[in-house]
Amino acid sequence: MSGSMTIGPDRWLAATLLVFLLAGCGTKQVLVQSEFPPPVMNKLPLTIGVWYDEEFANHEFFDEAAGRAETSWLVNTGQAQVQLWDTLLKGMFRDVVYMNGKPGPGQMNPVVDAVLLPAVDELQYAIPAHTNVKVYEIWMRYRLQLVTTGGAPIADWTMPAYGKTPTAFMQSDEGAVRLAAIVALRDAGAHFASTFTSIPDVAQWLASLPRAGDAARRRVQP
> Does any domain span residue 220?
no
- Alpha-carbon distance 55 to 50, whole Å? 15
> Does any domain span residue 174?
yes
pLDDT value of residue 219 = 38
Q: Looking at the 3D structure of the chain, how many domains does it have?
A: 1
pLDDT value of residue 140 = 94
> Does any domain span residue 85?
yes
> Does any domain span residue 133?
yes
> Does any domain span residue 95?
yes
Collapsed DSSP state (helix, strand, coil) of residue 39:
coil
Residues 137 and 177: beta-carbon distance below 8 Å: no
CATH number reported for the structural domain that contains residue 195 in this entry: 3.30.160.150
Residue 79 belongs to domain spanning: 3-213
pLDDT value of residue 20 = 43
Give the pLDDT means over successive 10-residue stretches in the chain (222 positions): 47 44 63 90 95 95 72 87 97 96 87 96 76 79 96 97 79 84 95 96 92 49 37
pLDDT value of residue 197 = 95
List Cβ neighbours of 113 (8 Å cut-off, separation of 6 or more).
46, 47, 48, 209, 212
> Does any domain span residue 101?
yes
pLDDT value of residue 144 = 98
- Alpha-carbon distance 167 to 159, whole Å? 26
> Does any domain span residue 151?
yes
Output phi, psi for 31, to 5 deg.
-105, 115
> Does any domain span residue 20?
yes
| pLDDT tens digits, 92-134 | 999 999 999 999 988 888 889 999 999 999 988 877 754 566 7
pLDDT value of residue 204 = 95
